[in-house]
Structure 1
Amino acid sequence: MALLEIRNLSVSFATSTGRFHAVRGIDMTVNSREVLAVVGESGSGKSVAMLATMGLLPATATVEADMLRFDGRDMLTMSDADRRKLIGRDISMIFQEPIASLNPCFTVGFQLEEVLRVHLGLGARERRARAIELFQAVGIPDPEARLSSYPHQMSGGQCQRVMIAIAIACQPKLLIADEPTTALDVTIQKQILDLLMKLQEDTGMGLIMITHDMGVVAETADRVVVMYKGRKMEEAGVLEIFEAPKHPYTRALLSALPELATGDRLPTVSDFIDTEALAGGA
């Protein structure tokens, strides 16, 4: 049985001129101990699809699906109270911008310990010990002292590690990492990716890696879902995606990678296919 099963997921938003459809008819599954990469250009609906699964979209969003099941439980019929118990404990998410996601008014230690209090019911002493343990696990130096720091007192890489510590605090069965290395320098990017892969291997959790970086996909993923303008273009194993992509958009996406470019001008996807026709007919 798949850990997460999504069938025909669609998401639209109310606007002043009608409804904007951000995700259209997405099917997706992820298993325990599997890394699923969700790739595509900015605005392709990657993050929206996962936020819909988490129930974290604003009231202007309408989410529809034929199936949304986690670990055998139907999330479409689940009560709000049951969903709140599930999200943050069994399903957790690392958001794109760690500094923006952390509350600037509270120490990082308070924010981490709050998760342990709400979801696990730990006492003050237990929370403190577990928080130090988590900071050690994600490689934050001098963890006991760092618990008293505010987000603005930490670097981008350290804030990302705090976000990872919060996300794994309750040992989730599924972790969604939304562009976890965005805005970090190359050395820190590798450290964060290595950390995530080690945590995934050690705990056996399922991992969904949302990214537009095909290098990250090649290093981490077992399977890949390729999205464009809210639709799924292709799904395949990572080797198949790179060696024998079937969909024209996937081939164009790979052909437009800077490291494969030749000549004086970087190519774009639209150089290879009619993207407007693709969006209308996919």
Structure 2
Amino acid sequence: MALLEIRNLSVGFETSTGRFHAVKGIDLDVHPREVLAVVGESGSGKSVAMLAAMGLLPKTAIIQADVMRFDGRDLLTMPDAQRREIIGRDISMIFQEPIASLNPCFTVGYQIEEVLRAHLNMGARARRARAIELFRAVGIPDPEGRLASYPHQMSGGQCQRVMIAMAIACKPKLLIADEPTTALDVTIQKQILDLLMTLQEDTGMGMIMITHDMGVVAETADRVVVMYKGRKMEEAGVLDIFESPSHPYTRALLSALPELATGDRLPTVSDFIDTQALAEGA
């Protein structure tokens, strides 16, 4: 049975010029112990689709779906109180821009302990012990001392490790990692990806890796969903995506990788396909 099952999900927002459709009728499944990469260029609807599943979009969002089920439970009909119990505990998310995602007014230790208090009802001593254990697990040096640090006192890589510690604090069944390495330099990116994959293998949780980086996809994913303009273009195993992509957009996306570039100009997807026609025909 799929851990997360989504059928015909659409997300729209009302604007001054009419309704804007950010996600248009996508299907998605992720299973325990599986890493699903959701890939596409910026604005393709990757993050919006996952935020809709978590119930974290603003009330102005218009969300429609035939099925949205987590671990056998219907997220569409579930009362808000029950959904709040699941989000952050059984489903957690690592957001983009770790420094911006942490509250600058509170220490990182307080913010992690607040997750443990809210979802697991731990006492103060148990919360502190668990926070130290989590910091140690994600490779933060001097975990006892670092609990008293504020986000601005830590590097971008350390803040991302704090976000990962917070996300895994309640041992979630599903972890959604939204561009977890975007704001980090190359060496730290590798460390964070290795950490995430080690945690995923050790805990057996399912993972959705949202990214536009095909290198990250190649290193982490079991299956890949390719999105463009809010629609799913293709879904396949990671080897099939790289060796024999079936959709023209996927082939164009791979052909536009900088490492494959020749000549004086970096290629773009529109060099290989008519993206306007693709958007209008999708």
TM-score range relative to shorter protein: over 0.9
Amino acid at match of 1:97: E
Deviation at 1:59, TM superposition (A): 1.5
Report what 2:255 is aligned to. Answer: 255
For residues 222-250 of structure 1, give each alpha carbon's deviation from its aligned partner in whole angstroms, at most 9, with x where no partner exists. Answer: 00000000000000000000000000000
Please name the residue that 1:271 is paired with.
271
Secondary structure of 2:99 counterpart: helix
Secondary structure of 2:196 counterpart: helix
Q: How many residues align?
A: 282
> How do 1:1-282 residues align onto structure 2 when only pairs under 5 Å count?
1-282=1-282
Query: Which AA in structure 2 matches 1:191?
Result: Q
CA shift for structure 1 position 145: 0.5
Unpaired runs of 5+ in structure 1?
none
Distance 2:190 2:220 in 1: 11
Amino acid at match of 2:4: L
Q: Deviations over 1:52-93 (max 9, x none)?
A: 001000121111000000000000000000000000000000
Q: CA deviation at 1:275?
A: 0.4
SS at match of 1:96: coil
Provide the rounded CA distance (Å) in 1 between the counterparts of 2:59 and 2:65. 17
Shift in Å, 1:119: 0.3
Q: Distance in 1 between the 2:280 and 2:176 partners? A: 29
CA distance in 2, matches of 1:46, 1:23: 8
What CA distance in whole angstroms lies between the structure 2 residues aligned with 1:14 and 1:280? 20
Matches of 1:246 and 1:138, distance apart in 2: 38
Give the partner amino acid of 1:247: H
Q: Under a length normalisation based on structure 1, what TM-score does the superposition of the two structures give?
A: 0.99
Shift of 1:143: 0.4
Identity of aligned residues (%): 87
- C-alpha distance in 2 between matches for 1:248 and 1:225: 14
Per-residue CA deviation, residues 242-276 of structure 1 (Å, 9 max, x unaligned), is 00000000000000000011111111100111101
CA distance in 2, matches of 1:108, 1:20: 37
| Shift, 1:279, TM fit | 0.8
Superposition deviation, residue 45 in structure 1? 0.3
Cα drift, residue 123 of structure 1:
0.1
Pairwise CA distance, 1:17: 1.5
Q: CA deviation at 1:183?
A: 1.4
1:157, 1:278 → 2: CA distance? 38
* RMSD between aligned residues: 0.4
Q: Distance in 2 between matches of 1:199 and 1:281?
A: 41
* Secondary structure, counterpart of 2:27 in structure 1: strand
Question: 2:132 & 2:280 partners in 1: Cα distance?
Answer: 51
Task: Report the Cα offset of residue 180 of structure 1.
Answer: 0.2
Larger deviation, residues 252-261 vs 9-18? 9-18
Deviation at 1:18, TM superposition (A): 1.4
User: TM-score, normalised on structure 2?
Assistant: 0.99
Q: Aligned partners of 2:106, 2:19: CA distance in 1, in Å?
A: 37
